[in-house]
């Protein structure tokens, strides 16, 4: 049995597996990660193999204290100003859903960073992850624990469905709190850039370090990706999906075999009164109970992948999804939904 609920015993076992070069799927506050010892190239190779992930796509290195940062990164290669910004970010946003691209320490094998001289480093805000990291190698390289290109797992059950027995141990810590991957921020270039929208909104980063460039969602896929998370079709459910704004979804007639994924209940109600769908129609609302816009994007982010996983394992032929208000986490939600929509045309 490669599946255990988080406990002192299972954490110790998981740490031993990591130290022996094995793979452990573990919960973080964003999504489940597929972890390996960040200093062991053989273990890292297994991560790529199990995920069927191309070797050009670098992994995120997870640490559990600021003191270990320099084991993974070489901060001497940052100038004074960048170092200041890094410490501002780390002090205020770590632990948390922010991965920062830094010059890599030479101890990190090239396979972890796909040959790049930089490494994405993250300090997750989840006790289980922190304990696993500090009980084992001090730094764990972990991509999301899903087959490459598919939806990230927000529950241990998703990992079991996607990767099954290929993982030495799946640690079940319940559903993840944020439900979307971390924001990836590159501070090594001339300007500081967001490479992937995620759990830390751009506004929060800009309050600390001033305005940042956005390279996330780069349309020109062939121009050389600075972050393969920018691949246009990524984070995709198997079911085709159309992304519609509020006005468009209200006008979208119900089609047999389709599901509707609304951002908010009032848009759903308007749609219901206009389209009068049959009783068996599959209708979901991402932010059903939230009181404010901020609370509603949080709620929607936390259950987005759950809903997509569920629709993917039912008989739904097409998903019509409403975009989120493009503020705070809404940007990350829209980013994932628009990638899910790539290559999806409605087929009746």
Taking CB under 6 A as the binding criterion, the range among 167-175, 223-231, 250-258, 306-314 that sits at the site for ligand TXA is 223-231
Residue closer to ligand TXA, measured from CB, 142 or 241: 142
- Site for ligand TXA (CB under 6 A): which residue of 113, 239, 252, 334? 113
User: Interface mask (CB under 6 A) for ligand TXA, residues 91-110, using x and -?
Assistant: ------x-x-x---------
Residues 338, 217 contacting (CB under 8 angstroms): yes
Q: Which does 35 bind (CB under 5 to 8 A by kind): Mg ion, ligand TXA, none?
A: none
Paired residues of 63 in beta bridges: 139
Answer whether 197's CB lies under 8 Å from 98's CB.
no
Nearest CB to Mg ion, comparing residues 58 and 173:
58
**Torsion 258-262-265-266 (CA) sign:** negative
Among candidate residues 198, 140, 166, the one with its CA nearest the CA of residue 51 = 166
By CB under 5 A, is residue 183 in contact with Mg ion? no
144 lies in the binding site for Mg ion (CB under 5 A):
yes
One of 11, 72, 100, 195 touching ligand TXA (CB under 6 A): 195
Among residues 86 and 285, whose Cβ is nearest to ligand TXA?
Answer: 86
Q: Which residue is nearest to ligand TXA (CB)?
A: 229
If we measure between CA atoms, which residue out of 280, 281, 276, 250 comes closest to residue 263?
Answer: 250
Tell me the C-alpha distance between 229 and 225, whole Å. 9
Q: Point out which span in 81-89, 111-119, 236-244, 308-316 binds ligand TXA (CB under 6 A).
A: 111-119
Kind of pairing between the strands at 98-103 and 118-122: antiparallel
Q: Which one of the spans 4-12, 25-33, 88-96, 320-328 is the region binding ligand TXA (CB under 6 A)? A: 25-33
Residue 177: both structure tokens together: 């709190």
Is 100 in contact with 189 (CB distance < 8 Å)?
A: no
Phi-psi region of 21 (alpha: psi -120 to 50; beta: other; left: phi over 0): left
Q: Which stretch binds ligand TXA (CB under 6 A): 56-64, 264-272, 274-282, 284-292?
A: 56-64
Residue 63 tokens, joined: 């640490």
List of residues contacting ligand TXA (CB under 6 A) = 28, 30-31, 33, 57-60, 97, 99, 101, 113, 116, 118-120, 122, 142-144, 181-182, 184, 195-196, 226-229
């Amino acid at each position: 049995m490669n599946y255990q609920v988080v406990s002192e015993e299972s954490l110790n076992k998981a740490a031993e597996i990591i130290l022996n070069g094995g793979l452990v799927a573990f919960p973080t506050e964003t999504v489940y990660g597929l972890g390996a010892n960040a200093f062991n190239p053989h273990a890292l190779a297994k991560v790529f193999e199990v995920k069927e992930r191309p070797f050009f796509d670098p992994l995120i290195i997870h640490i559990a204290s600021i003191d270990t940062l320099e084991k993974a990164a070489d901060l001497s290669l940052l100038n004074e100003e960048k170092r200041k910004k890094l410490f501002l970010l780390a002090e205020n946003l770590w632990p948390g859903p922010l991965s920062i691209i830094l010059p890599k320490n030479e101890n990190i094998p090239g396979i972890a960073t796909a040959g790049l001289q930089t490494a994405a480093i993250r300090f997750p805000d989840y006790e289980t992850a922190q304990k696993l990291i500090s009980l084992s190698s001090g730094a764990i390289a972990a991509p999301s624990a899903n087959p490459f290109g598919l939806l990230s797992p927000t529950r241990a059950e998703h990992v079991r469905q996607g990767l099954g027995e290929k993982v030495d141990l799946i640690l079940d810590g319940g559903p993840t709190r944020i439900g979307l991957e971390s924001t990836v921020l590159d501070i090594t270039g001339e300007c500081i850039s967001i490479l992937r929208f995620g759990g830390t909104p751009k506004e929060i980063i800009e309050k600390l370090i001033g305005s940042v460039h956005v390279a996330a969602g780069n349309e020109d896929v062939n121009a050389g990706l600075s972050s393969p998370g920018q691949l246009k079709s990524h984070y995709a459910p198997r079911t085709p999906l159309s992304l519609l704004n509020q006005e468009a979804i209200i006008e979208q007639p119900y089609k047999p075999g389709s599901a509707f994924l609304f951002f908010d209940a009032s848009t759903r109600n308007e749609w219901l009164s206009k389209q009068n769908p049959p009783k068996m129609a599959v209708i979901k609302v991402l932010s059903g109970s939230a009181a404010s816009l901020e609370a509603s994007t949080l709620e929607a982010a936390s259950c987005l992948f759950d809903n997509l996983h569920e629709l993917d394992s039912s008989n739904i032929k097409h998903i019509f999804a409403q975009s989120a208000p493009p503020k705070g986490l809404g940007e990350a939600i829209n980013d994932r939904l628009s990638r899910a929509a790539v290559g999806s045309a409605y087929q009746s």
